[in-house]
Chains A and B, each alone.
Chain A
Amino acid sequence: MLENYLPIVVFILLGIAFGVGPMLIGYLLGPSKPDDEKNSQFECGFPAFDDSRMYFNVRYYLVAILFILFDLEVAFVFPWAVVQSQLGWFGFIGMSIFLFLLVVGFIFEWKNGALEWE
């Protein structure tokens, strides 16, 4: 069983190699003539002012929190989905209660405007 996971380790290592290798080739083949202008951060024709790590809208943060909730939900639903046809009505009602609670929360978020983007 565990030997099925060996190819995955190999593939992840290969993936890393595919990331590092081309960059190394590019570094070796390409020229290297750095100057201040070239290495400065991108801006439309004038030197950048302000810290570039600026404040951003709190909604992005809200989306991240909602994501954690719903992704956990997906993680819970997956094992149920595999066996749901064998569980019968017991499994159906159990999952209905679980999903119902989350849908109530979802409606609450919707009504409170957590999903609005202005």
Chain B
Amino acid sequence: MELWQSFVELVHDLIPWFDGTVAAILIILVKAVALIMPLMLVVAYFTYAERKVIGYMQLRIGPNRVGPKGWLQPIADALKLMTKEIIFPTKANIYLFLLAPVLAIAPAIAVWAVIPFDEGIYVTNLDVSLLYVLAIGSIGVYGIILAGWASNSKYPLLGAIRSASLLVSYEIVIGFALVTVVMVADSVNLNVIVETQKGGIFNWYFIPLFPMMIVFFISALVETNRAPFDVVEGESEIVGGTHVEYSGMTFAVFFLAEYANMILMAVLAVVMFFGGWHSPFEGIPVMESIFGWVPGIIWLLAKTTFFMFLYLWVRATFPRFRYDQIMRLSWKVFLPLTIVWIFVVALMTQLNIGPWFS
């Protein structure tokens, strides 16, 4: 730290405007690049993994032409999208039309600032980081609504209305499900929430809060417009939902946002319910020493990868739900269940019922 101070002063002597604030911003930018670049790479190869995994699940091979085993496929896709024409529909409100993709991706990237990857590895440590995630996450809805409205076309509007009420319904459910975690952890700081799950797999919150974990995961599928809840895109009913009028890079930005959100939801599930960076072998005599050298971030990424795989698995397995069924699931099943579970957790903490709630 002192070394850094003297370095900043040294540069300050050479370049007058380079002072503490600029240096701080510079560090943030370096951290941001170190976070966002791998994220974008993961998004790109997640699309490849999706096509490959679903291909094998349907007894196909999946992409295998571009590069060895199709490894260059995402790059080819990106290049293709870059060189496609961006169509500006005559009837669209052009500024809103272009604002919508930005509103979709800005929150999807901004959320990552508070995610803890390992003990002490985060961009910033807010005391209200969970509230920040929920608040910023809900801005993403505006992107979809604006896209549907600004396109001034029938199918995007239908998709936007559907998606707005879906996202909104499941946001409540996600909120309540996460409230139970907060009640057990006594904090809304993601770092503290992970810290309280220390000491082995039995301290992870998915055991005492198992129903809430299921509710959270299903709601995450809906929030990210994934199959079997992808009525928003619903290509067999409304062509492509909100994305119908978008082409080239304007569409790619939506796509990036959607996949970044999926990865975020997977990380959030790990942080809230599956012990974040903690090793599953903590407290088990021999295994602990065998796996002691593995850094926490590897565990976090491994668990996240599992959840990302679960997204693909679910998509390959289940047929699409009907719209009214999804709405019924949120309002008549999940909402009562979560409210009841808040009571259960509150009662268990007041009565000191161990081992989790004491």
Q: A residues touching B (Cβ–Cβ < 8 Å)?
A: 3-8, 10-12, 14-16, 18-20, 22-23, 25-27, 29-34, 36, 38-43, 48, 50, 52-54, 56, 59-60, 63-64, 66-67, 70-71, 74, 77-78, 81-86, 88-89, 92, 95-96, 99, 103, 106, 110, 115, 117-118
Contact = CB atoms under 8 A, between A and B. Distances in A.
Interface in B312-358: 323-324, 327-328, 331-332, 335-336, 339, 342-343, 346-347, 349-350
B81 A4 contact: no
Nearest to B32: A14
B85 A77 contact: no
B86 interface: yes
Binding site secondary structure of chain A? helix
Nearest to B172: A70
Contact of B172 (A56, A67, A83, A110): A67
Contacts of A56: 157-158, 161
Interface string B91-132: 100000010011111111110111000000001111000011
Contact of B253 (A22, A34, A84, A96): A22
B186 A85 contact: yes
A70 B253 contact: no
B151 interface: yes
29 contacts: A3-B24, A4-B125, A6-B24, A6-B25, A8-B124, A12-B106, A14-B32, A15-B106, A15-B107, A18-B106, A18-B256, A19-B101, A19-B105, A19-B106, A22-B256, A23-B101, A25-B249, A31-B83, A36-B90, A48-B153, A52-B152, A64-B165, A67-B168, A71-B175, A74-B176, A78-B179, A82-B187, A85-B349, A92-B347
B297 to A, nearest CB: 19
A82 B184 CA distance: 8
B322 to A, nearest CB: 9
B239 A42 contact: yes
B82 A7 contact: no
Given A34-B88, A60-B164, A71-B175, A5 B104 contact: no
Contact of B108 (A15, A26, A53, A59): A15
A4 B124 contact: yes
B28 A10 contact: yes
A41 B109 contact: no
Q: How large is the interface on B (under 10, 10 to 19, 20 to 34, 35 or more residues)?
A: 35 or more
A39 B91 CA distance: 8
Given A18-B106, A26-B82, A41-B151, A54 B157 contact: yes
A103 B339 contact: yes
A61 to B, nearest CB: 9
Most buried by B among A6, A33, A42, A95: A42
A33 B88 CA distance: 11
A106 B332 CA distance: 10
A71 B248 CA distance: 36
Contacts of B328: 115, 117
Nearest to A85: B349
Most buried by B among A22, A39, A95: A22
Given A6-B24, A27-B86, A39-B87, A81 B169 contact: no
Given A31-B85, A95-B346, 4 more contacts: A7-B32, A15-B107, A38-B87, A52-B154
